[in-house]
A and B are shown apart, each in its own frame.
Chain A
Amino acid sequence: MKAKRWIVRVLLGAIVPVAILVVWHVASVGSVVVPSIGAVLEVLAHPLRDPPALDSTSLASGALISVLRVVCGFGLAAVTAIPIGLLVGRSRGAMDMLSPTMAAAMVISPIAWIPVAIIAFGLSSPATALYGDEHWRFGLLDQLRFAIVAVIWLGAFFPIALNAAGGAKRVREAHIEAARVLGATRRQVLAKVILPSAAPSIVTGLRVGGGIAWRVIIAAEIFPGTRGGLGYMIATAHEQASYEYAFASIIVIGAIGLVLDGMLRLAEHRVGRWQPKER
């Protein structure tokens, strides 16, 4: 009975992917722009191979570069947004000073900031900052272009900060007072009350910000001077009409996005497990 239910669930879950595959196959017949499923699988089956018909690094290398860029931009966003968000949530003065700007900036798509990021950072990277003209020796470090990381930071910053602010604002004074009566210093109140209380909101913000960061990477990677990343691979594949690489990159982007979201969802669940479930 259990096995039968499981089979039914699997079959139900397979309907949409199978439909997509059928539509894909039909669309690919006689098309240049829509590659065949086989061609895309061929690319996915050799992730470490430098593409023979594409001026790009391998799929795996591209994925690693994109992930590292997102991790850096997202990490930077988390490290800056959480304290700022907590401050805005707990301090009236900070809220009055920062909230209007944050609210206005949040509605601007991070992609719109790309030209500004190029002007501000150009082709600089941690490798150029540390090693100057010898930057090219330091492979992946050189790929962490500041302009790309900045755009990702911008995309992830606001949802994290605003959620952190909301979580900090909702901390119950009674909890803070309970800790104070037990002798907690301000730092201890922050660490033992405010942060854990706001943690579910913060992690929700991280999840939203992480999703935006991963989506922004594609547009951000069509940058001059970039020779790697999944976004770069898609742009180059498009330019060179090697669409099987574009499709393969999209599939990899989706898969990595799922994994990243899954990890953040797990964190959300763990951090929020003390919250009573709604009936």
Chain B
Amino acid sequence: MTGEHEAIRFENASKCFVTPARPEVWALRGFNLSCLARQLTCVVGPSGCGKTTLLRLAAGLDFPTSGRVLMRGRPVDGPPDGVGLVSQEGTLLPWRRALANVTLGLEIRGMGRAERRAAARAVLQRVHLGRDVERSYPHELSGGMRQRLALARALCPNPRILLMDEPFASVDEPTRHHLQGDLLGVWAADGQTILFVTHSIEEAVYLADRVVVMTFGRTVAEIPVSLPRPRDRLSQEFIDLLLVVRRALTEHVDEKGGDV
């Protein structure tokens, strides 16, 4: 039963892929997860554990083989309203300049040109992108700027839920820290529900209210993080939590002897 403050729910969701090379690949096996509204949940796990699959199911880009996914109490049967997605891979439209990429969501909804440009500029400011990048094409921007742009595009239509698939994995560490700071700033102001997938334990502990450890398509541990923000990566409490998460992760990986 979904609670009224529950934003995302996975109920025994399983997903099987059939390919010519490998007849049956279970990316998710009876996956259960519940995310409350306004909560920042990080899912951490090794490569191939099903993290991307669970986000795709939540975004309505794919469907579970069994079980179900609910977004704000409604079963997902296609991309739901009010959901934004930020991926690791560049999904910015390369033929659109920066501002046009950001306005895409509002354009799709039929908002007028002037209005959506104003909204886009406001969002770009929030992710610390200046007006000088508005007319740039994505390939003319650095990796960090592209990820800010992708975030801005997802934020522009004011989604209530943000799904983020390792969005900062491809940038260097200093940039990643800045981006994490920007994300927290936006989240603090807007209060979206964020489901953030990462393979970095450190990133998960830094960002999350709750870290979900995932291996072989299922949840193996849920670790609450109640450290105040901004978090000190060098504090003992932070390091202790890193160890807890790492232990949870490696225990289950060792049991099964490696990735699927």
Contacts and interface: CB of A to CB of B under 8 A. Distances in A.
**SS class of chain A's interface: helix, strand, loop or mixed?**
helix
Interface in A257-276: 274-276
B85 A183 contact: no
Interface in B130-162: 137, 139, 153, 157
A199 B108 CA distance: 20
A181 B59 contact: yes
A174 B107 contact: no
Interface string B75-107: 000110101110101111111100000001101
B91 A192 contact: no
Interface in A168-210: 172, 174-175, 177-184, 188, 192-193, 196-197, 199
B61 interface: yes
B93 A175 contact: yes
A181 B79 contact: yes
Interface string A146-184: 000000000000000000000000001011011111111
Contact of A183 (B89, B108, B139, B153): B108
B22 interface: no
Contacts of A276: 139
A181 B86 CA distance: 10
Given A180-B61, A181-B59, A275-B94, A192 B107 contact: yes
Contacts of B78: 180
Given A181-B85, A188-B108, A193 B93 contact: yes
Nearest to B156: A182
Contact of B91 (A178, A184, A188): A178
B229 interface: no
A196 B93 CA distance: 9
Given A183-B108, A184-B108, A276-B139, A174 B87 contact: yes
Contacts of A196: 93, 95-96
Contact of A174 (B79, B89, B95, B105): B89
Contacts of A177: 59, 61, 85, 91
B113 interface: no
B91 A174 contact: yes
A183 B93 contact: no
A188 B106 CA distance: 12
A131 B19 CA distance: 61
B59 A197 contact: no
A121 to B, nearest CB: 40
B104 A192 contact: yes
Contact of A181 (B84, B94, B107, B139): B84
B158 to A, nearest CB: 12
Contacts of B81: 183
A199 B95 contact: yes
A179 B85 contact: no
B109 A178 contact: no
B94 A274 contact: yes
Nearest to A274: B95
Interface centre among B59, B81, B104, B107 (most CB of A within 10 A): B104
Contact of A178 (B85, B107, B157): B85
Interface centre among B61, B94, B95, B104 (most CB of A within 10 A): B95
Interface in B161-207: none
A182 B108 contact: yes
Nearest to A271: B95
Interface string B98-128: 0000001101110000000000000000000
19 contacts: A174-B87, A174-B89, A174-B90, A175-B93, A177-B59, A178-B87, A178-B92, A179-B104, A179-B108, A180-B60, A180-B78, A181-B60, A182-B105, A182-B108, A182-B153, A183-B81, A192-B107, A274-B94, A274-B96
Given A180-B60, A182-B84, 8 more contacts: A172-B91, A174-B87, A175-B91, A181-B84, A182-B157, A188-B108, A274-B95, A275-B139
Interface of B: 59-61, 78-79, 81, 83-85, 87, 89-96, 104-105, 107-109, 137, 139, 153, 157
6 closest residue pairs by CB, A with B: A178-B91, A182-B105, A276-B139, A274-B95, A181-B85, A174-B91
